[in-house]
Amino acid sequence: MVWGISLANSVTLCTLTLNLPTCGNNLLDHFLCELPAMVKIACIDTTTVEMSVFALGIVIVLTPLILILVSYGYIAKAVLRMKPRQVPHPLYTIITPSLNPLIYTLRNKHMKDALKKLVRVDHKSTKKRNWKS
């Protein structure tokens, strides 16, 4: 199913992009003719293509997120319906598994470096600066 959705997405975006007229003889300094480069050299208004890319991106990102949140909701609902004797402590049944993706993401070296860089930038921007006139 994922392969089919990806193929449909690619075919749609490629069809929209390759049908755009180009002005003159243009040279792309890219190994692949990627979508943003092809849209840049178009002679016409590319709002339709850009909005299509945006809409498809939103759908592709939000669909899994919504499905994950709905499944967590069903799990929480099932746990809360249990009788008090059957319910394990909520910390171990709901909160800990929910935090696992965050925990394993932060164990990744690249993610740690990016987070440190982000914190460093925010820390530097909040320092008071002495401006000389």
Q: Supply the DSSP symbol for 128.
A: -
At 18-42, the pLDDT tens digits run: 888 877 777 666 657 678 878 888 8
- Report the pLDDT value the prediction gives residue 133, as an integer from 0 to 100: 47
**What pLDDT score does 42 carry?**
83
State how far the Cα of 46 lies from the Cα of 36, in Å rounded to an integer. 11
For residue 62, CA distances in Å to 13, 42, 55, 74 come to 19, 29, 10, 18
pLDDT of res. 130: 55
Distances, alpha carbon 32 to alpha carbons 28, 85, 133, in Å: 9, 61, 49
Backbone dihedral angles phi then psi of residue 42, each to the nearest 5 degrees: -75, 145
